[in-house]
Amino acid sequence: MSLTILAFMGSPRIKGLCSQFAASALQGAASRGAEVHQINLVDCDIKHCTGCHSCVYTKHELPIGMCPLKDDMAGILEQYLAADGYVMACPVYDFTVTSIMKAFIERRFPMYKKQKGLHGKIPEVRVPQGFKKKAVLIATGDASDEYAAIAEPCFDVMSGHFMVEEIDVVSQLYVGYIHNVDEQRYKEKMQEIFTMGVRMVEEIEKARL
């Protein structure tokens, strides 16, 4: 059975380096036989979460909770749940992810469930993945690689749900000095990220033996 890998790209520039890096990770996954697809979040209709909690309080028998907001997220979450691995790619904006990526992450809330009136605990994931799904994280920024710590908040935000969903992050990479990437460095980073995609598929296959 072929694996499916989804890339969620959080940059408003769909032809920029962040998008190209996400595509390279997918190409690496495809080289191992995976079906791949990149979702440019800026092109999606994703409304802001209103915090009503309707999705987590009701319909606990469903794999995905019902959100009252009508936009693209229901379809995106169906693709998300069906996929075997994920690429999360986003530039650093003001020391964290873009508002585009953050809106998507917040609207993943229907993947969880919680009894109304139960406080003091985090919601449970509706479909635990048993660490058979894997993910890779890519962050880009103008600060040079020596300031890679600037991307840590991005990695924390992009991977926070994975811990609860039982999804392993197998690798992460910050690519700095993004507006001054020469041809040699571009090739090196594209190859490094291609390898990340290859490794993700290999780790998924190992987890399913």
The domain segmentation of the chain, as residue ranges, is 4-207
How far is the C-alpha of 159 from the C-alpha of 88, rounded, in Å? 9
- What's the CATH architecture for 4-207? 3-Layer(aba) Sandwich (3.40)
What are the CA-CA distances from residue 153 to residues 79, 95, 106, 137, 149 (Å)? 26, 7, 15, 12, 8
- Element containing residue 26 per DSSP (H, E): helix 17-31
**Residue with token string 């059975």:** 1
Q: Which residues of 164-199 are buried (b: 16+ CB within 10 A; e: fewer)?
A: ebebbbbbbbbbbbbeebeeeeeeebbebbbebbbb
Which two tokens mark 33?
């036989």
Q: Give residue 99's pLDDT.
A: 97
Q: What is the pTM for the complete model shown?
A: 0.95
pLDDT, one tens digit for every residue, the chain (209 residues):
689 999 999 999 999 999 999 999 999 999 999 999 999 999 999 999 999 999 999 999 999 999 999 999 999 999 999 999 999 999 999 999 999 999 999 999 999 999 988 888 899 999 999 999 999 999 999 999 888 999 999 999 999 999 999 999 999 999 999 888 899 999 999 999 999 999 999 999 999 99
How far is the C-alpha of 72 from the C-alpha of 63, rounded, in Å? 17
Q: Give residue 115's pLDDT.
A: 93
At position 62, the amino acid (one-letter code) is: L
Q: Give residue 158's pLDDT.
A: 97
Nearest to 10 by CA among 87, 123, 70, 121: 87
Q: Give residue 1's pLDDT.
A: 64
Q: Give residue 12's pLDDT.
A: 97
